[in-house]
Each structure stands twice: as C-alpha cells, then as structure tokens.
Amino acid sequence: MIGFIIKRFINYAILSAIATLSAYVLASMILNPAARYYGRNPRPSDQTVNAILDGLGVNPNTPVIERLWSWLVNLVTRGSLGDTIHNTSVLSEMAARAGTSLRLLILGTVIAAVVGVILGVWGAVRQYRASDQIISYASFTILAMPSFVIGILLMILATGLNNVLGIQLISFTGEYTPGLDGGWWAQVADRAGHLVLPTIALALVGAAGYSRYQRSAMLDVLSADYIRTARSKGRTRGSALVRHGVRVALIPMSTYFAYSFATILAGAAVIELVFSWHGMGEFLFQAIQQSDINAFTGAILFNAVLVLIAGTLSDIVYAALDPRVRV
C-alpha cells in the first residue's frame, strides 16, 4: 500500500509541476504587464518600464523560455516565486492569504463530503420516495446556480434574520470585525461567526455534487450478490448496507473527490470575493486583472499543491477501502 501511495504522490507532483510551468508560460503569452504603466499620467518612458519589468522578470521583450528558466532557477536555488507588481514577495503574500483560504476550504470540503455521502446513501436506499425526490430537486437546483448567486442569497437571508431579531446575529462581510475588543475568545467567536455563511455556501455546492454521485454509486451495489449473501447470514438490511454496501460505494467516490476538488477551489475563489475575504481566490483574480504574471503563477502553484494533497488523500482512502491495491 505504501508503494502505491508513493507512486501516486510522485505522479501528482509531476502533474502539479507541469501545471505550474504551463501556467507561467500561458500567463507570459497572454497577460501584458506593461499595459498598467502606459496608462499612467505622466506616462513613464519605455526605458523605465523595461527596467521595472526586467527587475520583476516579466519583460515581454525577453523570450518566454528564457524568463521561465530564470523563474525556475530562482525557485530551486532561492526558494523564491519572484515579486508582485507591487514589489512585495509572492511567497509573503501567499503566506498571509493561505490561512484564510484553507480555513474555508478545509471546513467546507469536510462538511460537503460528509453531508453529500449521507444524502446520497439515503437517497439511494429511499429511491423514488418523497425524501429522495426532495434531495434530488434541491441538489439539481443548487448545481444549476452559480456560486456567487448562492452566496448573495445567503447574505439576503442573513440580513432578513438579523432585521427580524433586531441584532447582528450573523456577520458576513470580511473575515472579522475590525477594531473588535473583548479578548481572545471574543476574537475567535467573531471569526467563527464570519466563517458561517461562506462555509455554508461552499458546503452546499460540494454536497449537491457529492450526493448525486454517491446516490448513483450506491444504487449499483443495492442488488449485488454480497448484499444478498449478508442478508442470508442473518444481517438486517440496514446492517448489510452499512457494513458492505456503503464501503464498496465509497470507492468510486474517493476517486471523484480528487477530480472534483479543482471545482471546489474555483467555487471557493468566487465565494471569497462575494464575502470580501482576502484569500488566495482574491489574490488570483487580482493577479489576472493587473497582469501580474508572478502572482498568477504563485496562485496556480498553491492550487496545484492543494489538488496534489487532495489526490493523495483520495488514493489513501481508496487503498483503505479496496484491499486489492495493496497487493
């Protein structure tokens, strides 16, 4: 099993490296970092602009391959991802923002996976009944809505609830309340309160997709021979489904999780913008808007590492559920 996990990790690491290098090349070919300087008044000279871009390593007049090689050498020898257009280290910006995104991603993903699996199994066991129909309609409705629409609807509902109660029960703008006093516990409670709506928004989107996939996987095993064998040995239907059916149905779910994690990342980036969170999602969007090649590549590297971790975890779960991969 350990050999299997190591091989998969190496494969994901290679793919992450290819994705990051490809992102740098594409950004260098598409984005124009010089444009932001030409729009200033007074307009800086071409020599000044070229000197600034050379210092950042993103001058379009330098061949892309040469710039990529310099960026890669700096990464390997100095552990540097370069500087942003604001002359701040990309790594320092990522370090300041990564925790913000990870709080939302980890909590939202775990809730989405647990709730999605439970709803999917329940819907399969109760196929075509009222509860299954409600779960199906709700899932398809959520999947049909963009992430920012779900976030805005939650904000409207929270605002209505706050007005009815006459107090600010749910806060949703930013990560915390600026200038809040009251000690460490008050700070923690305030951050947790701001985390509620973004987490719900991300969990809803993830759970809707997971429940559909888990329901289909569970339906495939309901009539399997090993389920009937377990029933014939005296197990109740619920015990046979939980002990044998759910475990087998979770195997394809673990693979689906790895491939769907990139979608969760995209949804989290949009949700960060809706709720004014200064995380890696905002960092990525600002990099695109400002034609910041180094910042864009750093954000893609961050996403690639998260997908690498998610893929490795899914393979570990796969190996735990299916003993054949340990051979």
Residue 65: the pLDDT is 92
Residue 234: the pLDDT is 73
53 falls within a domain: no
Quick one: tokens of 309?
């971790």
Q: How confident is the model at residue 323 (pLDDT cuts 50, 70, 90)?
A: low
34 falls within a domain: no
Higher pLDDT, 179 or 193: 193
Residue 152: the pLDDT is 92
Considering only 18-22, 304-308, 310-314, which range has the smallest mean pLDDT?
310-314
Considering only 106-120, 231-245, 273-287, 310-324, which range has the smallest mean pLDDT?
231-245
32 falls within a domain: no
Residue 325: the pLDDT is 61
Sign of CA dihedral 132, 137, 139, 140: positive
Residue 1: the pLDDT is 66
Q: What is the pLDDT of residues 139-172, one digit of tens each?
A: 999 999 988 899 999 999 999 988 988 888 888 8
The span from the CA of 251 to the CA of 322, in Å, is: 7
Closest CA to 109 of 45, 174, 35, 199: 199
30 falls within a domain: no
Q: Omega of the bond prior to 63 within 30 degrees of 0, cis?
A: no
66 falls within a domain: no
Question: How many folded domains does the chain comprise?
Answer: 1
194 falls within a domain: yes
CB 223, CB 237: distance < 8 Å: no
- Rounded mean pLDDT of the chain? 85
Q: How confident is the model at residue 50 (pLDDT cuts 50, 70, 90)?
A: confident
Q: Find residue 89's DSSP bridge partners.
A: 83
CATH number at 192 reads 1.10.3720.10
24 falls within a domain: no
Alpha carbon of residue 106 to chain centroid: 8
Sign of CA dihedral 187, 193, 197, 199: positive
Closest CA to 109 of 251, 218, 266, 252: 266
157 falls within a domain: yes
Reported in sequence order, the residue ranges of the chain that DSSP labels E, i.e. its strands, are none
Residue 92: the pLDDT is 92
Residue 13: the pLDDT is 85
Q: How confident is the model at residue 255 (pLDDT cuts 50, 70, 90)?
A: confident
Q: Give the domain range for residue 189.
A: 2-13+84-325
Quick check: 59 pLDDT over 80? yes
Residue 198: the pLDDT is 92
* % of the chain exceeding 70 in pLDDT: 95
Residue 324: the pLDDT is 64
